[in-house]
Amino acid sequence: MTERPVGRDSSAFLANVRAERVKRVAALAGRSARSRAGLFLVEGPQGVREAVRFASSRVRDLYITPDAAARYRSIVTSAEEAGVYVHFGSDEVLAAMSGDAQGVLAVVSTEGVSLDSALAGAPRLVAVLADVRDPGNAGTVIRAADAAGADCVVLAGESVDLTNPKVVRSTAGSLFHLPVVRGGTLAEVVSSVGAAGLTVLATDGTGDVELNPADPACGALLAEPTAWVFGNEAHGLSPEEAALADHTVRIPIHGAAESLNLATAAAVCLYASAWAQR
């Protein structure tokens, strides 16, 4: 599974759910197995399509049922053109590998870029997740950052494991569109993004700046190269963490809602910067 032969594995149709290969792939649902192997799972046609299209050199194996291969011909064609080893298996085998495969999954190397590399080249928009624990939230913010045209996403502190299957699924393939890296502590990450020339903005309900792109002062701030810091889902940023930022920004609430959830707040802030910068 860790080697990467070229082409289609037409010699052996995978039908035994108890085969060692099936067990090794299924084990990648666990963090310790992913860490040991340096591999993780990408489940479902959308994620696999984007992995093959944008990160084919990292795709070690693609597993697909005949029905899925007929439905998603472009995935198989792109994989074979990229030299990815394609394995065909039964519905039962794919389900044993992953309950979320939808007939297609890929095993991908965890190789990535460093924070310094991700910040090279004068980035203009960066999202920083500080102690974000929920995999669905993390994945959704990565997807929103991609849609807003961010240059990279950084996971700081005790944030969730980037290769968690739910994180990967929640990105809907955006994980392979922009650098997503793990930094050190929030203080270390803020120091790095500041050194890269970015203004650091942190979301806070009592922030000194109201998010209003129509306001000239706020619009000018948003137009600068910016790193947005988003805190933990449950308790946000501590006063000490918020103090690391150049400015704290509050999102106005015009209705009766107490607040916005993390992913929604991140999307609002990132798009505000994207509009201002464009």
Containing 25, the helix (H) or strand (E) segment is helix 20-27
Whether 267 and 134 map to the same domain: the answer is: yes
| pTM of this structure | 0.92
The domain boundary, picked from 109, 136, 162, lies at 109
Contact between 113 and 103 under an 8 Å Cβ cutoff? The reply is: no
User: How do the pLDDT tens digits run along the chain, 278 residues long?
Assistant: 444 444 555 458 999 999 999 999 999 999 999 999 999 999 999 999 999 999 999 999 999 999 999 999 999 999 999 999 999 999 999 999 999 999 999 999 998 789 999 999 899 999 999 999 999 999 999 999 999 999 999 999 999 999 999 999 999 999 999 999 999 999 999 999 999 999 999 998 888 999 998 899 999 999 999 999 999 988 889 999 999 999 999 999 999 998 899 999 999 999 999 999 98
Whether 138 and 46 map to the same domain: the answer is: no
Query: What is the side-by-side order of every strand in the sheet holding 180-182?
Result: 180-182, 152-156, 125-130, 226-230, 199-203, 247-250, 209-210
Whether 133 and 269 map to the same domain: the answer is: yes
243: phi then psi, degrees, rounded to nearest 5: -65, -15
Contact between 173 and 147 under an 8 Å Cβ cutoff? The reply is: no
Residue span of the structural domain in which 15 resides: 8-109
Whether 161 and 76 map to the same domain: the answer is: no
1 belongs to a structural domain: no
Whether 92 and 176 map to the same domain: the answer is: no
Whether 15 and 121 map to the same domain: the answer is: no
The domain boundary, picked from 56, 89, 109, lies at 109
Token pair 């203009």 in the structure block, residue? 124
Whether 130 and 72 map to the same domain: the answer is: no
Whether 14 and 122 map to the same domain: the answer is: no
Tokens of residue 257, six digits:
């809602």
Whether 166 and 226 map to the same domain: the answer is: yes
Contact between 211 and 252 under an 8 Å Cβ cutoff? The reply is: yes
Write the CA distances from 265 to 144, 212, 221, 245, 251, integer angstroms.
10, 13, 18, 17, 8
Whether 160 and 79 map to the same domain: the answer is: no
- The CATH number of residue 128's host domain is 3.40.1280.10
What sign results for the dihedral spanned by CA atoms 159, 240, 204, 220? negative
| SS3 state of residue 134 | coil
The domain boundary, picked from 93, 109, 125, lies at 109
Containing 97, the helix (H) or strand (E) segment is helix 91-97
- The CATH number of residue 68's host domain is 3.30.1330.30
Whether 260 and 238 map to the same domain: the answer is: yes
